[in-house]
Amino acid sequence: MNTPQAAPSRKQADKAAFEANKLAKRLRRQVGEAIVDFNMIGEGDRVMVCLSGGKDSHALLDILLHLKNIAPVNFEVLAVNLDQKQPGFPAEVLPAYLKGLGIPFHIEEQDTYSIVKRLVPEGKTTCSLCSRLRRGVLYRVAKELGATRIALGHHKDDIVQTLFLNMFYGGKMKAMAPKLVSDDGQNVVIRPLAYCREKDIAAYAEQRQFPIIPCNLCGSQENLKRQEMKELLLSWDKRFPGRVENVFNSMGRLVPSHLADHNFFDFKSIAATGLPDPDGDIAFDTEPLPEVPEVVSLLPMARPG
């Protein structure tokens, strides 16, 4: 027999409301900062928000709609969902939700699911091909709808995961750019959630009660290497708070002379200049080193023999 839970007290309710408001402000501020830092949205832009039905794209749409009302520039927000005809996809959920918001939206129906299942062997991960086909469709739709920006819901954790995926499995240092030109060269893709943590987005989605549609309808998610990276970062977050933040921040603080890409830095022309180098040959320091006298002053003076 289940014991009925007591209703939350007024104090508990006030605290919950305070925390919810603080979270919303933090996410909106972070999105605003990313937009400004990378010049993601400007006057007159028509922003196509790719709404998959997951927590991230729901949060992105919600926050952009809020910022649209207070931003110093005028821009449009258009929600677009791609119905890929996956078995069990609840096609009625997002249209009903978007109609309730009273915003412009478009549902594009393309059976990419059948193409993926036909081309990918049974038991193999379908996400890579599925993502590629989805991008192609969304690029076309953006052009047809006159969108000047394509907004994706990738967040800080996604970006760091991608960095490690490329390092571990691709042998290169590459992540997700907060802003870039699309593969077809015709669209500008933006990731306004670049400064937001996934755990904050998950909490926000729960508070806002978005109609979430899972991304594992095809049943291939369990095989993803990305899941391995996600679990690695989660374990780091528990054991070493702040590590994920530091990794992300490092991507914006490159020191080319201390990496190894000779196409990016002219190592061949390096020569002693006689001038001090603030970076020098120090590979890692957690804090500034104290000033020390010249080395020669520390050596014993030679005595006349």
Query: Once rounded to an integer, what is the mean pLDDT over residues 114-142?
Result: 78
> Distance (Å, rounded) from C-alpha 236 to C-alpha 245?
11
Residue 289 has pLDDT above 70, yes or no: no
pTM, 2 dp: 0.84
262 or 302, higher pLDDT: 262
Contact 126, 114 (CB under 8 A): no
Query: Once rounded to an integer, what is the mean pLDDT over residues 145-151?
Result: 96
Per residue in 247-281, pLDDT (tens digit) is 999 999 998 888 899 998 999 998 888 887 766 66
Contact 157, 227 (CB under 8 A): no
165: left (phi over 0), alpha (psi -120 to 50) or beta: alpha
- Output the pLDDT for position 305: 47
How many Cβ atoms sit within 10 Å of the Cβ of residue 241? 9
Residue 244 has pLDDT above 70, yes or no: yes
Q: Where do the structural domains in the chain lie, given as residue ranges? A: 13-250
- Output the pLDDT for position 286: 58
Per residue in 188-237, pLDDT (tens digit) is 999 999 999 999 999 999 999 999 987 765 555 545 788 889 999 999 99
Q: Which residues touch 101 (CB under 8 Å, ≥6 apart)?
A: 65
- Output the pLDDT for position 111: 79
- Output the pLDDT for position 287: 59
Give phi and psi for 92, each to the nearest 5.
-85, -15
Residue 7 has pLDDT above 70, yes or no: no
Per residue in 80-119, pLDDT (tens digit) is 998 888 888 888 999 999 999 999 999 998 877 777 777 7
> What is the percentage of the chain residues whose pLDDT exceeds 70?
83
- Output the pLDDT for position 3: 58
Contact 51, 58 (CB under 8 A): yes
- Fold adopted by 13-250: Rossmann fold (3.40.50)
How many Cβ atoms sit within 10 Å of the Cβ of residue 282? 10
| Coil, helix or strand at residue 80 | strand
